[in-house]
Amino acid sequence: MAWFTKKEEAPQELLPDIWHVCSKCGAHIFKDSWENNLKVCPKCGHHDRLSARERIALLVDPGTFREYGQEVVPTDHLGFADAKGPYAAKAAGAVKKLGISEAVVTGSGDVEGIRVVFSVMDFAFLGGSLSSGAGEKIDRAIQHAIDFNRTFVMVSASGGARMHEGILSLMQMAKTCAALNRLQEAGLPYVSILTDPTTGGVSASYALIGDVNIAEPGALIGFAGRRVIETTIKQKLPDDFQTAEYLRDHGFVDAIVPRKDMRHYLATLLAYRQK
């Protein structure tokens, strides 16, 4: 008989998946508490990303949102494929997984009783990339705002133009800005809400040309990435470079509004037009 025998350990039960780990400070938060706090870390205030549906529920009065444009879906004009597979399959997978037709959800809804036209981007859909389909949905939403004399609200969350579509995606930068010019000529307000991240061709087109630009705290907002810029200019950038706070301090963003206050802040802005 061996002098030492190892006692057989009973298999450990897996702990229930009840924790969310903050991606900024690493704090462990009960998932229920995190979700009840609108996916904002109670320790450091980090605003985690929301889906388009969650964003709409946050901003729009319950039961008032009417979606349109669901018939617009991604189109693979170039027959693009990379090492990970065909673009068409990736796009179809995103549609099926998320239950939305493109990287932006469009529709009308009330904000504290005031009717508004919304376009809300979803970063989970291929990085919230701006495609020909997404550009078409935004263009139609802006035209709807013009036709029905509504304020247009854009919520951006994007890595930029969808390179799977080549020049057709880049053309959407001009297309959406042209639509916003029509909105301006009609004398209608445009409110732009910038969330994490708002980058690339989206930041270089419609995201930063609102009559009022609002950002969530700590949101990453910029064009090229920090490493690309530092390598190009051979200089170290400030630690807060490309944050919502940096852009506010340098005049690109008008206000930084915590998520819990966003609906009321938006309603206050909209009320000026009602007077």
Element (DSSP H or E) covering residue 30 = strand 28-30
Q: For residues 151 and 145, is the Cβ–Cβ distance under 8 A?
A: yes
State the pTM of this model: 0.92
Ranges of the chain with pLDDT below 70: 1-16, 275
User: Which residue in 238, 220, 246, 224 sits closest to 46, CA to CA?
Assistant: 220
Mind listing the domains of the chain with CATH numbers?
Answer: 18-48 (no CATH), 49-274 (3.90.226.10)
Cα 179 → chain centroid: 20
The reported pLDDT for the residue numbered 234 is 96
The reported pLDDT for the residue numbered 193 is 98
The reported pLDDT for the residue numbered 17 is 84
Residues 116 and 136: their CA atoms lie apart, in Å, by 19
Residues 115 and 121: their CA atoms lie apart, in Å, by 19
